[in-house]
Structure formats: C-alpha cells, structure tokens
Amino acid sequence: MDVPIQPPLTTPDGHAFRWHDSGEKYLNAEIDAIATAQTSILFECYLFRASKVGERFRDAMTDAARRGVQVTLLLDDVGCWGLHRNYFSELIRLGGKVVWFNPVRWRFWSFRDHRKLLVVDDAHAFIGGCNIAPEYAGDGIHEGWRDGGISITGPVVRHLAASIASQIEIAGNQIWRVRKNSRSGWVKAGADVSLLLIRPGLHQGVFQRALQSDLQHARDIAITTAYFLPVGRVKKMLLRAARHAHSFRLLLPGKSDVPLLQVAARALYSRFLRRGAQIHEYQPQVLHAKVLILDDIVYIGSSNIDPRSLVINFEVMLRIRSAVLAKEARRTFERDLDHSVGVKPLSWRRPSNWWQRLKQKLARFIFTRLDLGVAQYFVQKRETSPRRNSRSGWN
C-alpha cells in the first residue's frame, strides 16, 4: 500500500518544507526533484563517489540535460578525490557544466567546500548532511549512515541559488575573493528563515554568532552532530547553556568514520556531564546528521560543531523558527535515542592509564592545533596583508 504524502510544514513568512529523517528518504526526494526539473539544476556536494547511488544521480541529471534543463554541478576537488573527470562526460556533452572547487595546491588545500545543496528550477531546494555515496542511502538503522535533511520552497531558495553561484565564481583557486566581497553571511529570507553562510576566517563566524544569541535563552536544547569538538567561545557558550538550560541533550556517534576525532570528543564528556548535560551515543550505524533544536528554532545543514566546520571549511546552515518543525525534529531525535546508549558520568572520569591520556592529547593536538593552526596561518596571511590582497590573483 502506498504511503500517503504528508502536507508540507509551513512558516508565516512564506516558506514550506518537508522533513526527511533518513538518507534514503532524502536522496530519493532529491532524485524525484531532479527528474521533474524544467529549467535548471544547481547541485553542490563535497563527496560524490562512483557507485550505484552516484550513477542514479548522474543519470537523472543527464536525462534532465537531454530534455533541455541547464545542469550545473559544483564538486569539491578533495572530497571527490579518485572520481574520474570523464565520469560526467555524457552530461557535459549535452551542455551540462561540472566545476571543481579549489583544485589542490599546497597553500590552499585545507579550505574545502563541505556544503551539500540542491536547487531545482530556482524554486525548490534541498539542504542536509548527505553526500552522494552508498553509505548515505540507507535508513540509518539497519543499513547506511544516520543522516537526512529538509526540502524547502519559498524566498530562501533564491538566496541558496545565489550562494551556489558565488561558490562557482570563486571555485578555481579564487577562494579569498569571498572574504573581500562578501556580506556578514547572515541572510534573512524572512521573519522565520535565515541562511547562514560559513566561510574560512579568523573572525567569529556567523553560525557562532547565531548560536550565541539563541543559546542565551534556550531552555530545551537537543543537538545531533557527527563531529563534536567545540573550542574557544563555542565551547564556553555550550557549557554555559548546559548549566542553565532545563534540558541539554547531545546525540553523538557511538561509531565514527573519524575514530581519532571521537577520542578527542570523548575527552570533553566529563565537563559537559558535570554541568548537567545528557550525552547519548548512537549505536546501529555511523551518525552523520547535523541538526540543532533550540526550543522552537531548528538549525540544519552541513556544519558540524568542530574547528574545521566552524573556521576552515565553507559550510551552509539554515536557521528556521518553527514550532511544528521543531516538534518533527524532536520526534526524530527521540527515535534516535531509542537506538542510543546514555553516557554515565562515572564512566568518563579522567583516563586511568597513560596510553588513554596520550591518545586524547594527540587527538586534540591534531584537530585543535595542527589542522586549525595551518589553516589559520594562511587565513591570517591573506587577511592581514593589504599588499598581497590587492593583487588580482589573491582576491
């Protein structure tokens, strides 16, 4: 029996959206949208792997180009490492365009386009955490990583399309042009929906500023994130929120595709637990979703809560004030808790042996000192050198 299609959730400012609580549902909805495209497809992704899932997307976009739709793909050069440049040859032959973001050079290799966006006909957009690879195409419980996203219509879609166009403009090693020409990165598409454009830089990013404002008053906080390693101001604001909120819950991976970062994250557990946080680790599959629920505000997109997402990568998040969306997101959060194990405070005291302490220190050094330090060096070099910034090659 066919499952009835639920009506979209709406906001008073003219937006409508659907909540996709698994990678399978989200990717299928994207394919359906591509299959019905009439004029244009803008697709931006960090990782696109040659696979059955990749073939479905490639073939759907090729079919769209064959019927006259203008198709443009923006793919990160590092994220798509190993994907042959001729993989989209038929699409290109039919007039499609494939752009590779920030081709690797030693000075700029660190700054990646980690965004995942699809805009169809400038009217319908998708945003979430899913890349195009087999591990994202399951239900997150029995198979495939736990991920998902939302589809949205309304005024924000044109801003999402414009942000993809901006990324395409700077893709060919012109990534610093965005620092000179960009606005704050906080784009209000209406009273209830904002677009947060996260870019490399030494400043406090737009996502951090939005969180700082919302966390001050939030009473019911539920955060799902694949990589949790807050540092500096972000760590302080989250610890403060854990102490003052009525409920502060973290859903983090029990299985991670970056085990060393998980080691570093677990070193923070005791500090959050002492301040009243509840921490749960998701068990069935790798957790890759990125959703924050702060009372009736939902953040969703590509950004994790770690130094790379907040300072180094190009990321994108939507901030949506909607009680009905928050209720739907919390329903998914509660479902995920049924497949998770709660972390007990006594289990996360200071490691008792030197090897565990050494691993934690090494992990934190790599992610909060080495990776971040190298990126900040080049950011600082560009942002504090007027002579170099004045050259067209560096703008």
Q: Does residue 22 form part of some domain?
A: yes
Q: Does residue 155 form part of some domain?
A: yes
Question: Span 118-136, mean pLDDT?
Answer: 98
CATH number of the domain encompassing residue 97 = 3.30.870.10
The mean pLDDT of the chain is: 88
Going by pLDDT thresholds of 50, 70 and 90, the confidence category of residue 259 is confident
Question: Span 275-297, mean pLDDT?
Answer: 97
pLDDT in tens, 349-377: 555 565 666 666 666 666 665 555 555 55
pLDDT in tens, 182-218: 556 999 999 999 999 998 875 568 999 999 999 999 9
Task: Please tell me which residue, 85 or 20, carries the higher pLDDT value.
Answer: 20
pLDDT at 107: 60
**Structure tokens that stand for 247 in this block:** 């409920």
With a cut of 80, say whether residue 180 has pLDDT above it.
Answer: no
Angle subtended by helix axes 354-365 and 259-266, to nearest 10: 110
Q: Does residue 57 form part of some domain?
A: yes
Going by pLDDT thresholds of 50, 70 and 90, the confidence category of residue 238 is very high
Q: Does residue 237 form part of some domain?
A: yes
Q: Does residue 358 form part of some domain?
A: no
Question: Span 104-127, mean pLDDT?
Answer: 88
Residue 184 CB-density burial (10 A; 0-12 exposed, 13-18 middle, 19+ buried)? exposed
Task: Report whether 132 contacts 79 (CB < 8 A).
Answer: no
**Structure tokens that stand for 205 in this block:** 């990013």
Task: Report whether 363 contacts 261 (CB < 8 A).
Answer: yes
Q: Does residue 383 form part of some domain?
A: no
pTM: 0.90
Range of the domain at 134: 14-347
Q: Does residue 18 form part of some domain?
A: yes
What whole-number percentage of the chain has pLDDT above 70? 81
Q: Does residue 35 form part of some domain?
A: yes
Lowest-confidence region among 25-29, 181-185, 275-279: 181-185
pLDDT in tens, 320-344: 999 999 999 999 999 999 999 999 8
With residues binned 3-state (H G I as helix, E B as strand, rest as coil), the percentages for the chain, rounded to 5, are: 40, 25, 35
Task: Report whether 129 contacts 111 (CB < 8 A).
Answer: no
Measured at the CA of 301, the angle between CA 59 and CA 310, to 5 degrees, comes to 125
Number of domains the chain is built from: 1
Task: Please tell me which residue, 203 or 122, carries the higher pLDDT value.
Answer: 122
Question: Rounded CA gap, 114 and 97, in Å?
Answer: 19
pLDDT at 390: 36
Nearest Cα residue to 179 out of 197, 191, 161, 192: 197
